[in-house]
Amino acid sequence: MRERTGAAVLLEAAARCGVKLCIANPGTTELGLVHALDDAPSIRPVLGLFEGVCTGAADGYARVTGKPALTLLHLGPGFANGIANLHNARRARSPVINIIGDHASWHLAADSPLTSDIAGLAAAVSDVVIRLERGTAMVDQVVNAIELAQGPPGKVVSLIASSDFMDEIVAMNDAPVIQASVEKQSAVLDSREIETTAQALLKAPAPIVLLGGAALRERGLRAAARIADVCGARLLMECYPAYAEMGGDLPCLERLAYFPQDVLAQLGQAKILLADAKKPVSYFGYAGQPSILTPPEQLIPFRVDSANVVQALERLADCFTNHRRRPRIAPRTAIAVPASDTLTPIDVAEVLCEHLPEGAIVSLEGSTCGGPFLERAHRAKRHAVMTNTGGAIGQGLPCAVGAALAQPHAKVICLQSDGSAQYTVQALWTMAKENLNAVVLISANHRYGILQTELKRALVDISSPATSRLTRIDSPSVDWEALARAYGVPSVKVSSRCALTRELDQALHIDGPRLIEMTLP
């Protein structure tokens, strides 16, 4: 029999399930767990100065590795600061395990200042919320939580850890028996269904294969390309993929448009196969435009999920091995522009495509440069792109932190709009603290570009006083170069394509983080 604290029992269970990372912003009620991390050497503790950094980093880590990291957060209000990026993680179907500290169980009735409805807050943004029991009983709960989180599809699981249960001594057998996680059995694919889908694809003129989720990695992409070659299909990817492999010799995908009328024009009357992608819907509701952008009769039946989509695409492609190839609809090509002394979003996209190193991971937030980059990314070397899956802004910098923690030898590029960067700006400190290989490119146009775009579409005068005050962030303009240095990240400001090329090239050849503030119109 060994004696250990409940916190040590919890961490040991997580470590035996393969958890390697704990991204924490602890408070008093989590100190038992902080201390126990000293005796859990296989779990790396990383500090975030704000909880949204922790949850966004856990999301980024999960997108890259497919494995859950732990977050360690302080009671209800601390956890609440992490909700926005958990919303994104959930939309990304990323596995994440939150450990939320709570008061000692016997102290809750006192209603002391930090007492709050943790379970209620967690429920709104978790797939599962579990209040940990005391002693050895929590081992099974932790193991189950991690299996649940891993999916597929990945899930956000929140564990509420009462501080007394973490602090108290637990007597237990030497090594708790951890059931090895059984490989999930995917739903067996029905050969007749696959054949029916294949026939529907062949019959449809220029059908669309819309790829999302697990289908956007190499195997899925190559299978989809084989299908497209035979069926003359267009390959599209979701507008906001969680993790998409791109570039090199991978097939080139069109990106699904953002505004509903653009999506309708893009899809036309084509029959659509959804490969782990959600049915296209309008991002927001606009008067006179539909919410659902594809009627059911436009969809080709294809009953697959994250767990078996890749296998299903390959089986589909195999149906066509004896078919002749149909001419494939050419994807849109990017417009090349000449080099200049100013800097536009298109320049940024072009420079980044040209200089992106093999195996880079791009964390992309904001439309200003994100849109132009995604149009061209197929021309870059082989890389992966993560985007904001849930629309809760402040995802790009933390997601880059998580990716860099997951793959220390890859170059992580964070292509980040300035408005959204503010919500989790504290991520810069963790980049410096952990000396992460992250290059942050800030698109500094000092306005909420998407809001101004929406207002112009609605024919509102964006220069009117209140509207201007609430959509411009240019008086004062945030000095990103100074901000980065304040957090210990070396930085520079550029305002020409040539300076960006030089600074990006240099940043990619140095270890550790760098921030480049790009002055844009």
From residue 388 to residue 407, what is the string marking binding to its own copies with x (rule CB under 8 A)?
-xxxx-x-------------
**Residue 128 in the binding site for its own copies (CB under 8 A):** no
Could you tell me the smallest distance in angstroms from the CB atom of residue 320 to its own copies? Answer: 33
Could you tell me the smallest distance in angstroms from the CB atom of residue 44 to its own copies? Answer: 9
Q: Which of 296, 327, 465, 521 binds its own copies (CB under 8 A)?
A: 465
Could you tell me the smallest distance in angstroms from the CB atom of residue 431 to its own copies? Answer: 10
Q: What number of residues does the chain have? A: 521
CA angle 502, 504, 506 (to 5 degrees): 70
**Residue 512 in the binding site for its own copies (CB under 8 A):** no
Could you tell me the smallest distance in angstroms from the CB atom of residue 75 to its own copies? Answer: 8
**Residue 49 in the binding site for its own copies (CB under 8 A):** yes
DSSP assignments along 436-457, one per residue: --EEEEEEE--B-HHHHHHHHH
Q: Which of 200, 450, 498, 508 binds its own copies (CB under 8 A)?
A: 450
Interface with its own copies by CB under 8 A: which range of 60-68, 242-250, 297-305, 461-469? Answer: 461-469
Determine how β-strand 254-255 pairs with β-strand 234-237. Answer: parallel
Q: Which of 16, 63, 67, 103 binds its own copies (CB under 8 A)?
A: 103
Q: Per residue, what are the HEC states of 73-102?
A: EEHHHHHHCCHHHHHHHHHCCCCEEEEEEE
Could you tell me the smallest distance in angstroms from the CB atom of residue 371 to its own copies? Answer: 16
**Residue 7 in the binding site for its own copies (CB under 8 A):** no
Q: Which of 34, 384, 405, 410 binds its own copies (CB under 8 A)?
A: 34
- C-alpha distances (whole Å) from 67 to each of 32, 70, 97, 307 are 25, 10, 10, 15
Name the nearest CA neighbour of 262 among 282, 240, 276. Answer: 282
The pair of three-digit structure tokens given for residue 461, joined into one six-digit string: 């005068």
Beta carbons within 8 Å of 45's beta carbon, 6+ residues apart: 22, 24, 34, 37
**Residue 125 in the binding site for its own copies (CB under 8 A):** yes
The pair of three-digit structure tokens given for residue 156, joined into one six-digit string: 């956000």
Q: Which of 15, 47, 252, 264 binds its own copies (CB under 8 A)?
A: 47
Q: Which is nearer to its own copies, 121 or 410 (CB)?
A: 121
Q: Which of 188, 458, 509, 521 binds its own copies (CB under 8 A)?
A: 458
Q: Are 410 and 361 in contact (CB under 8 A)?
A: yes
**Residue 471 in the binding site for its own copies (CB under 8 A):** yes
Residues 332-371 that bind its own copies (CB under 8 A): none
Q: Are 237 and 254 in contact (CB under 8 A)?
A: yes
Could you tell me the smallest distance in angstroms from the CB atom of residue 364 to its own copies? Answer: 15
Q: Which is nearer to its own copies, 27 or 331 (CB)?
A: 27
- C-alpha distances (whole Å) from 255 to each of 334, 386, 490 are 13, 13, 34
**Residue 499 in the binding site for its own copies (CB under 8 A):** no
In one-letter notation, the amino acid at residue 219 is: R
Helical residues (DSSP H) of 17-158, grouped into ranges: 31-37, 51-65, 75-80, 83-91, 118-123, 137-150
Q: Are 300 and 271 in contact (CB under 8 A)?
A: yes
Q: Which is nearer to its own copies, 477 or 496 (CB)?
A: 477
**Residue 106 in the binding site for its own copies (CB under 8 A):** yes
**Residue 408 in the binding site for its own copies (CB under 8 A):** no
**Residue 479 in the binding site for its own copies (CB under 8 A):** yes
Q: Which of 1, 3, 113, 322 binds its own copies (CB under 8 A)?
A: 113
**Residue 141 in the binding site for its own copies (CB under 8 A):** no
- Give the integer Cα–Cα distance in Å for 28 and 101: 9
Residue linked to tokens 């008093």: 28
Q: Are 51 and 25 in contact (CB under 8 A)?
A: yes
- Could you count the other beta carbons within 10 Å of the beta carbon of residue 408? 12
Interface with its own copies by CB under 8 A: which range of 82-90, 323-331, 360-368, 502-510? Answer: 82-90
